[in-house]
Each structure stands twice: as structure tokens, then as C-alpha cells.
Amino acid sequence: TWEYSAQFALRPYLYLLLHSLVGAPVAAVVGEQGSKVCVFYAIRMALGAISAACDTALVRATAKKASPEAASILLVLLMGSTGTFLASTTLLPSTFSMYAVTFAASAILEERWPAVIFASIVGVVWGWAVVGIAVMPYALAVLLCTPFARSLSVAVVGLLVTLTP
């Protein structure tokens, strides 16, 4: 379809290199006789662990910033979010962006501004460009809460790191 066409460049595939960090060692262990299914499920397990780590960071940050009760409510809501649960292990750029946005949200609550900037850049560049709209409130928070020169320097370094394969 048109959204997968290289002409429009809507889908980045740089994030697939990150999957090779898990897939290549597993493929080496299972060898040529091993199943590609093993590699596939190992990657999905790693993606699930990353998603769980991002959600955990958000719940912990909520407990620190708001209250343990608010964190408990967030945890219940996250546990009941079947769409997010199913998306957490898909091999899609939007899933990668979901991790980045979730991590950036936890970093905002903890006022770790360089982490907010870097996670947002990674989500947009390596994940899905449309996420740029979702992280605009994060950018506004960074601009309001940090010196502009520092934010700009972190953003430039983040762009250099993410755009250099």
C-alpha cells in the first residue's frame, strides 16, 4: 500500500537493526539447524521486557511525583490495556515509538530533561515520525523548564547519535 511505499518514506526501518542485537546472538546459539521461530520469539520476549521496563519506570515515577495511590491506579489501567499489551511485542516502528514515549513520560515526571529529549528524538527518528506530534508537549515542557542552550545541545547530540547508524 502507499504507506509502505519508499516514495513517501513514512515507515523507518532503522529500528530493525536494534532487533539484530537480540536476534543475531540467538541465531548463533541455535545455529543453522535451529528454527527461525526461536529467533522470532526471542526478539518478541526482549520487546516485551523493554515494554515492561518502560511501564515500570512510568509507574515508579508516578508514585514519586503524585502518590502511590495514583501509581496503583495507573498500574491497573496499564494491566487492563489489551491494545497496548498486544502492541508491546509487535515488530513495528510504532511499537518502538510507544516505548520511547512511555519512557519520556516517566522522565518528565522525574524531571530528567536530557532523558526526555533523547527518548523523544529516538522515538521520532528510529520509530515513527508521526510521533513528533505526540512529543510536542514534552518539548514544550523541556523548553519551559530548562535553559535553551542546554536543551539545544542535548537535542543536537541526540540527533547526531540517532542519525548515525
| Joined grid coordinates for residue 40 | 522470532
Mean pLDDT for back-to-back runs of 10 residues, the chain (165 residues): 67 78 94 86 96 98 98 97 94 92 98 97 90 96 95 94 80
Amino acid at 119: A
Distance CA 147, CA 56 (A): 29
C-alpha cell at 23: 536476534
Q: Give Cβ neighbours of residue 67 (< 8 Å, ≥ 6 apart).
A: none
What does pTM read for this prediction? 0.89
Rg, C-alpha atoms of the chain: 17
Cell (9 digits) for 33: 539447524
